[in-house]
Chains A and B, each alone.
Chain A
Amino acid sequence: MKRIILGLFFLWACILQANAQKDSIITRSTLYGIGHTNILDTYLSPMEYTGAELRILRENMRKTKYKDGKISRQSMFQAHISMLGNKAGTGSEFYFLANWNLAYHYQFILGENLKLLAGPNLDLNGGMIYNQRNSNNPVNAKTYANLDASGMAIYQFRIKDHPFVLRYQLNVPLIGLMFSPEYGQPYYEMSISKDFGKNICFTSLHNQPAIRQFLTLDFSIKKTNLRLGYVCDIQQAKVNHLKSHAWSHAFMIGFVKHFHLVNPYK
């Protein structure tokens, strides 16, 4: 099963990369935000840790040549760090996660101002949680890859003469692979056994009910395109008798740029 999923990921990336359109408008945005995170990782502690987070999100969207331009490609990278404390105020954790998504959406035009997009999304994650007072279990790596179902709704409207774009997106992991130590497995044991087979776990909706939601509003002030955003990032898993969750809510602000790529050799 694990090999089949790995093969699917590879095939997916190859096929979709080949279909990127060379001449198209690219929408690129960079958002910065602050938010609140709630972390649970029972490998480190049965207690929840909460605190502030800093987040950056970069996104590229462009149309592809596939299906007469009705398929768009979205590449999104986000990274966030958090310093967290337990409820009693006696322990602290540091949490970092980087997440890269590559999605291809088919566009359904539902009217002059509304369109829906739906498609698969490759979702790669890498990070760690560090507990500052633990002995031989001070850190747990967060590494997982998913094939998501991704959907998006884009609504364009005007208030007086000012154009606005409202967008909602959600990504739901359907199947994936996740690294996890076993219940009481020290990382020291992994270093001597060098056998990580039992640490790669199959995940799906039953043991990884996760969801990422994005709500953004684009508008212009003079010639500057701005974007306000809200990210609801719910990452959860239950593998190897270990439970984990990372619930983040962040408010973002940043800039949007539109580029038109031209091939000078055509």
Chain B
Amino acid sequence: MKKKIFLYLLSLCLFSSCITEDIHDNTPQGNFDALWQAIDTKYCFLDYKHEEYGLDWDEVYRRYSNRLTDDMTKKQLFQVLAEMLEELRDGHVNLVSAHEISQYREWYDQYPTNFIDTIQRIYLGKDYKTTAGIKYQVLEDNIGYIYYGSFSNAIGESNLDEVLNELSICDGLILDIRNNGGGLLTMSETLAARFTNERVLTGYLRYKTGPGHNDFSSPEPVYVEPATDRVRWQKPVAVLTNRHAFSSANDFANKMRQMPNAILIGDKTGGGSGLPFSSELPNGWSIRFSASPIYDPEMNHLEFGIEPDIKVNMTSEDMQRGIDTIIETARIQLKKK
């Protein structure tokens, strides 16, 4: 009896199946395979980008794996992996090592900057106010101006109450998110909630439910609820965008497009509609990639940016005179309303 019990316990200890992950070797080939597989199973835009510009992730594997050698240095390996990731054309995709962070920059490098901070300073003057990462001022023609340069700077509800109260005397509001590279998605919601009196459907969110390219959840509607018992803006608002408005700023532009009194002015946004996740390689390098796509209310992708209602670039003549063409266009549009 004792012997049987002992054998039973021993078998339980020895034969309990272990749950482990197949980890690639820490070699150039192993790290390459780990990165390629992470994107293949977790990246959310492979099929969409195949349709848009013919991205073939299997072909990418063949092309870049030919560049691997057993004796290549870390920096050489990083270069190959970084170039492979650039095939995704995604500003949310980064490879992070101790010596470098890879970044796809063509989404704004190939376009006009459409934002010059020295010219912006002319509009802000010396007596502008600032709170929680927001700069604000009343322009000469009684148009309110808010600059929000990063959604990584969290704004409190009380901050927004104060700012909007201060600008409530204005005829209209310019909300400038140019060069806003994103940050907290919740800040996009918090700010957009000040520009509607009703619940507004602003888009859908999906996520991957498995490693297959088409393993996606059903679309989850995303709504903006009006901020209750808070100051809400009731007058016209112009949201200024450029190619450097990315990620959460792209999401904010999409949300504001659905608001009744809002208009988008400037250049197309930079996109970045995939909520990024992180993972890592056997050699310890970290990777970031888009994992969860956000769509507009018509289920259109926003990954490559949002076209403004009024497309306008800063002209060189205006820039030489210290004039921001996009701000001036917004002032004219707001005065018309």
A complexed with B: yes
Which residues of A does B touch, CB under 8 Å? 40, 42, 45-48, 86-91, 110, 114, 116, 131, 133-138, 153, 168, 170, 172, 182-186, 188-189, 192-193, 209-211, 213, 232, 234, 236-238, 240-241, 243-245
Contact of B291 among A114, A136, A168, A210 (CB under 8 A): A136
Smallest beta-carbon distance A247→chain B, Å: 8
In the complex, the answer to whether B280 meets A91 with C-beta atoms within 8 Å is: yes
Compute how far the CA of A116 lies from the CA of B1 in the bound complex, rounded to whole angstroms: 11
Q: Are the C-beta atoms of A91 and B222 separated by less than 8 Å?
A: no
Contacts of B20 in A (CB 8 A): 40, 48, 243, 245
The answer to whether the Cβ of B277 comes within 8 Å of any Cβ in the partner chain is yes
Provide the bound-state CA to CA distance between A88 and B279, in Å: 14
> Total A-B residue pairs with C-beta atoms closer than 8 Å?
131
Q: How far is the CB of B228 from chain A (nearest CB, A)?
A: 17
What is the bound-complex CA distance between A177 and B139, given in angstroms? 59
Q: Report Cα–Cα, A114/B1, bound state, in Å.
A: 12
Q: Would B217 and A182 count as touching, CB distance under 8 A? A: yes
Smallest CB gap from A89: residue in B: B284
Distance (whole angstroms) from the CB of B189 to the closest CB of chain A: 9
Once the chains bind, are B285 and A133 in contact (CB under 8 Å)?
A: no
User: B276 to A184, Cβ gap below 8 A?
Assistant: no
Give CA–CA (A42, B286) in the complex, Å: 14
Cross-chain contact A211 with B5 (CB below 8 angstroms): no
Contact of B211 among A88, A134, A183 (CB under 8 A): A183
CB contacts under 8 Å to A, within B1-26, are 1-2, 5, 9, 12-13, 16-21, 23, 26
Given known contacts A46-B279, A241-B210, A192 and B220 CB-to-CB distance under 8 angstroms: yes
30 chain-A/chain-B pairs, Cβ below 8 angstroms:
A40-B21, A42-B21, A45-B279, A46-B21, A48-B21, A86-B284, A90-B98, A91-B280, A91-B286, A110-B1, A110-B2, A133-B278, A135-B277, A136-B276, A136-B277, A136-B278, A170-B12, A182-B208, A182-B209, A183-B207, A183-B215, A184-B208, A192-B220, A192-B222, A211-B13, A234-B16, A236-B18, A237-B19, A241-B211, A243-B19
Residues of A within 8 A of B208 (CB): 182-185
* Contact residues in A for B286 (Cβ distance below 8 Å): 90-91, 133
Task: A136-B276, A184-B207, A238-B19 are known; give 8 further A-B pairs, CB within 8 A.
Answer: A114-B2, A134-B277, A170-B9, A184-B277, A184-B291, A211-B13, A240-B209, A241-B209
**Is B260 part of the contact surface with A, judged by Cβ < 8 Å?**
no
B185 in the interface (beta carbon within 8 A): yes
Nearest CB in chain B: distance from A53 CB, A: 19
Partner of A189, one of B98, B210, B220: B220
B19 partner, pick from A40, A185, A188, beta carbons under 8 A? A40
Interface size on B, as a range, is 35 or more
Whose C-beta in chain B lies nearest to the C-beta of A184?
Answer: B208
Task: Give the distance in Å from the alpha carbon of A210 to the alpha carbon of B17 in the complex.
Answer: 9
**CB of B201 closer than 8 Å to a CB of A:** no
Assuming A90-B98, A136-B291, A137-B278, is B19 touching A236 (CB within 8 A)?
yes
Q: Say whether A245 contacts B18, CB under 8 Å.
A: yes
Evaluate contact between B19 and A209: CB separation under 8 angstroms: yes
10 smallest CB-CB distances across A and B, nearest first, come from: A88-B284, A184-B208, A90-B284, A134-B278, A236-B19, A185-B207, A137-B277, A184-B291, A135-B278, A184-B207
List B contacts of A185 (CB < 8 A): 207-209, 217, 292
Which residues of A have CB within 8 Å of B279?
45-46
Chain B nearest CB from A108 CB (Å) reads 10
Say if the beta carbon of B170 comes within 8 Å of chain A: no
Chain B's closest residue to A238 (CB) is B19
Contacts of B18 in A (CB 8 A): 236, 245
In the bound assembly, the distance between CA atoms of A179 and B19 in angstroms comes to 18
In the complex, A86→B210 CA distance in Å? 25
- The answer to whether A184 and B19 have CB atoms under 8 Å apart is no
- Collect the chain A residues with CB atoms within 8 Å of residue B85's CB: none
Interface hub of B13, B207, B215 (most chain A Cβ within 10 A) = B207
**Interface residue B282 (Cβ < 8 Å from any Cβ of A):** yes
Q: Which residue of B lies closest to A207 (CB)?
A: B19
Q: A182 contacts B211, CB within 8 Å?
A: no
Chain A residues with CB under 8 Å of B209's CB are 182-185, 240-241
Task: State in angstroms the CA–CA spacing of A134 and B12 once bound together.
Answer: 36
Q: Are A209 and B17 in contact (CB under 8 A)?
A: yes
Given A47-B23, A209-B19, A186 and B278 contact (CB-CB distance below 8 Å)? no
Q: Is B178 engaged at the interface, CB distance under 8 Å to the other chain?
A: no
The answer to whether B220 touches A135 (Cβ under 8 A) is no
